[in-house]
Amino acid sequence: MKSAQDVRETFARMGMNDRETVALTVGGHTFGKMHGNGSPDAVGEAPEGSKIHQQGFGWANKNETGLGEYTVTSGLEGAWTPTPTQWDHSYLNTIFAHQWEVKKSPAGANQWEPVEVKEGYWVPDAHVPGKKNPPVMNTADMAMITDPAYLEIAKEYHENPDVLVDEFARAWYKLLHRDMGPRARYLGPQVPDEVLVWQDPVPEHQGPLVNEQQIATLKQQIADSGLTARQLVGTAWASACTYRQTDHRGGANGARIRLDPQIGWDVNVRAGVAEVIDRLEQLKDASDANISLADMIVLGGSVGVEMAAKAAGHDITVPFTPGRTDATQEMTEVDTFAFLEPRHDAFRNYMQTQTTSIPAEHLMIDRAFMLNLSVPQMTALLGGMRAIGANVGDSDEGVLTDRPGQLTNDFFVNLVDMGTVWEPLDESEERFEGRDRATGKKKWTATRVDLVYGSNSQLRAIAEEYAADGGEKRMMDTSSAAG
Ligand code: HEM
């Protein structure tokens, strides 16, 4: 039963429900065998730990040939079915036909074998002609008939082989394609016509794209809407920052920020994104331009950056490429989107309290990596967002400027200022206070993800560059290219 918990948790992390888990395990173990025929002590170092001359081939096995009948990998030994080279219904036939008991494999690991092997279920040895072995199950296999929910599904599949075939095919396709991200990234003649919700589908763009003139008009309307640079930039960031370059999920396309579960996330509620989205939607509805809300949110971010730059005396144009579309709630897999919730976002000085023992600055690097940002881009964006005052909940942590809302390099100028002495507020060393070195007067507050740009030598080098004369322009160019 404990194994079922582990299996359920592991497959849930891959976005798989109970039916998919049973289909995959049953279908997967219809083929092949486990390997543990000999002492694990004969097995050498893992690939990464082995000598350089082994060229990445680890686990060299000194027992006889170390291969074929002597192979030791998991340490369990045997095949699940009497026909391990065929796709058939034999896994479920085998598991339901027997009573199972724990035995030791030749490598000393626990595995399950029939109390008595029934007629027709002996397994031909994979290497030794004429030798017959009992079928074998591992503990996770046994979970398929001991966990009550798995058992129900396994019984249904046993009685309905066609249902198993269809559900295995779908789950296998999902297992192999889920990390490819949105459907638009699929190429070639074999792409199925059926649209699957785990592909985070968005509608095709219809009609002509919004033109330059319309974009200019919309930008002016957004600038005149009463929304501040902080609100516009914060909301565009909130919609984009869920992106994960590892599997291409999340991000601004689809405008899923207005749907469940995103609209209810603590980070979005506290940042007040709903109000900004409503206002942008009104502007979109009042316009005759063929533009999606997803594009409006991104365009709003561009307007916010341009407004903040202008306030600081810089005339810049943030590039904007339209073409995003808006997904519906039905196109959104709420359960798996929940995993994309930002529990930390250094760029907006946000950290959920219960989180983790991982230092905040490491979490920042993780998010920057997921967003595919270079180190200078990460630095420029963070400094720019602090200057604009885009912190979640409007906190002043790390807002090292007397003129928030203006896109300046003040964050860097004040961070590297040696006239400030920093002290932690308590033993957790999460929050800090900066005082004037001469007078002791309190000047600033900040968190670890602010101060790391002064303490880490490489980040400090970039911070100093942005703090220097002319650095403001460089910071803007770098961050607007990253955006
Ligand atoms: C429920 C969780 C699972 C567990 C704990 C598990 C465990 C194992 C173990 C211990 C082996 C033996 C490895 C060795 O000694 O060489 C194995 C082999 C294998 N597994 Fe799984 N497995 C699971 C799910 C799956 C799934 C979902 C698939 C595919 C859809 C799959 C396909 C296979 C295949 C084809 C082999 C045989 C490889 C060979 O013949 O060398 N397994 N599995």
| 3-class SS string, 98-121 | CCEEEEECCCCCEEEEECCCCCCC
Question: Which pLDDT belongs to residue 143?
Answer: 98
Please report where in the chains the tokens 């008939």 appear, as a residue.
145
Helix (H) or strand (E) run with residue 269 in it: helix 266-271
> 114 in ligand 1 pocket by Cβ < 6 Å?
no
> 72 in ligand 1 pocket by Cβ < 6 Å?
no
> 83 in ligand 1 pocket by Cβ < 6 Å?
no
DSSP 382: H
Question: Which pLDDT belongs to residue 204?
Answer: 92
Question: Which pLDDT belongs to residue 89?
Answer: 97
Cα of 101 to ligand 1 centre, how many Å?
A: 20
Question: Which pLDDT belongs to residue 356?
Answer: 67
- Which structure tokens are listed for 72? 């030791």
Q: Which of 9, 18, 25, 59 to mutate to test the pocket of ligand 1 (most atoms within 8 A of CB)?
A: 25
Question: Which pLDDT belongs to residue 479?
Answer: 82
Question: Which pLDDT belongs to residue 354?
Answer: 59
Q: For the domain 212-340, what is the CATH code?
A: 1.10.520.10
Cα of 376 to ligand 1 centre, how many Å?
A: 43
- Which structure tokens are listed for 103? 């035995």
Cα of 87 to ligand 1 centre, how many Å?
A: 15
Residue with CA closest to ligand 1 atom 12? 34
Q: How far apart are the C-alpha atoms of 312 and 483, rounded to whole Å? A: 19
Cα of 142 to ligand 1 centre, how many Å?
A: 13
Q: How far apart are the C-alpha atoms of 212 and 214, rounded to whole Å? A: 6
- Which ligand 1 atom is at minimum distance from the Cα of 35? 15
Question: First and final CA of the chain: distance in angstroms?
Answer: 48
> 140 in ligand 1 pocket by Cβ < 6 Å?
yes
Using 70 as the pLDDT threshold, list the residues of the chain that sit under it.
Answer: 1, 354-356, 483
- Provide the CATH topology of domain 344-482: Peroxidase; domain 2 (1.10.420)
Beta-carbon-side half-sphere exposure of residue 269 (alpha carbons within 13 Å): 8
Domain ranges of the chain: 2-36+73-161, 212-340, 344-482
- Which ligand 1 atom is at minimum distance from the Cα of 10? 2
Question: Which pLDDT belongs to residue 357?
Answer: 83
Same fold, 212-340 and 344-482: no
- CATH homologous superfamily of 2-36+73-161 equals Peroxidase, domain 2 (1.10.420.10)
Q: Which of 34, 83, 141 to mutate to test the pocket of ligand 1 (most atoms within 8 A of CB)?
A: 34
Residue with CA closest to ligand 1 atom 30? 28
